Amino acid sequence: MIRERSAPRPAVLTPGAATSQFRPVLFDASTAEGLRGLEALAASGSVGAVHDTIADQLDELIRCDDPALARSSVAARERVLDGMPLWQWGIWVFYPWSGRLVHVLGREDFQRVRTDRNRDKIDREQQRDLRGRRIGVVGLSVGNSAAVTLAMEGVGGSFRLADFDTLGLSNLNRLRAGVGDLGVAKGVLAARQMFEIDPYLDIEVCGDGLTEESIGPFFDGVDGTDPLDLLVEECDTVWAKVAAREYARGRGIPVLMDANDRGLLDVERFDREPHRPLFHGRIGTVTSADVAGMDRGELLALLLAVVDEQRLSPAMREAIGEIGRSLSSWPQLASGVMLGGALVADTARRILLGESIESGRTYIDLEELVPARDPRVAAAFARAVEVLR
């Protein structure tokens, strides 16, 4: 588990920062310690760009109290600032991986403005409730979309991210990243994206993925006192898929999975059903210990049972026999991944707010919901139109 702590002085950018650092450094310029930290940062030569829109953010904060205002008055700004110079008000956030220094509102004001346009779909009390929740995401390829959308919507204030892999060029068909991110650990990439949305999040990255050694701290926290409230499981490793559910069931944690084919969303409410069979009984009594001894063929058969082979899309069914031959891996599209992130985030929010979402599977199949016209029907229609002319 990677756990970075803010040092009194930020480190000067090094080549390693491009792939390893993911936690921003925060400075409160209204304090002597914060000023010293900013001075040290400026002297280090680490800052590549300064981005300061605090005046605009202040105006947005004031309009949260009085939405009828077209723009805030000088008097209204002065009341909020209470004599403090604008440059010292709020928090300065330094992102080591990009060298950007950004001026933002303080924590409470930031949360209020950033989520203001969620109302009244998510009211203030619900926003505070969600902010206090801790969510785990395992698998940061498909899971990247879910994690970033959760952060964007304010669903969760603390996150644990687990993935052992790094970003490759072929991942750019479905991950929100660029060529400058190649080689970055997927967990680190997701954490950076989330921190750039909200620098006040609490994020831990498990860079080895889920293993027998890391799975306990991932679910319970390093000292065992910080359990997850919800798990999003999106990994390809069969042992981790099974073991994660065993741990979640034992701790009464709901699990969500987007299978990224035909818009499949899987819900397992172990918080309400402590004896529910894993994967809705699709793998029988198989345990993670059993999985550890399986060969490649047995693992593929188990995975196909998990995803309901007969209900896969035609393209996915055809791809199964070609993986390792004409295909390097499972086919995936960005549109499907983004849809999955939306489905997971929406369902996670509703579960955490107490809605009665049941265990089971739902298909949001866009090809069924937005069907293409049968070419034969289209041709017949065209002939009929021609005859009428």
Distance CA(205)–CA(196), nearest Å, equals 16
How much is the pLDDT for 68?
76
DSSP 166: B
Distance CA(4)–CA(192), nearest Å, equals 13
* Block mean pLDDT (10 aa), the chain, length 389: 42 50 96 96 96 95 83 84 95 97 97 92 95 97 96 98 96 94 96 98 96 96 93 96 98 95 96 98 97 94 92 87 77 93 98 97 94 74 67
> CA torsion sign, 242 to 243 to 246 to 251?
negative
* Global pTM value: 0.90
HSE-CB of 145 using CA atoms within 13 angstroms: 25
How much is the pLDDT for 14?
42
Amino acid at 89: W
Amino acid at 53: T
Tokens, residue 154: 């304010």
CA–CA distance from 1 to each of 16, 166, 221, 237 (Å)? Answer: 18, 16, 10, 18
DSSP 176: S
124-369: CATH topology is: Rossmann fold (3.40.50)
H/E element holding 255? strand 255-258
How much is the pLDDT for 259?
87
Distance CA(39)–CA(46), nearest Å, equals 11
Report strand pairing: 91-95 vs 100-104. Answer: antiparallel
CA–CA distance from 124 to each of 63, 105, 130, 353 (Å)? Answer: 16, 18, 10, 12
What is the Cα 193 distance to its own chain's centre?
A: 9
How much is the pLDDT for 372?
87
In the chain, where are the structural domains located? 17-114, 124-369
How much is the pLDDT for 326?
83
Report strand pairing: 91-95 vs 230-233. Answer: unpaired
Distance CA(87)–CA(30), nearest Å, equals 9
Q: Do the beta carbons of residue 341 and residue 258 sit within 8 Å? A: yes
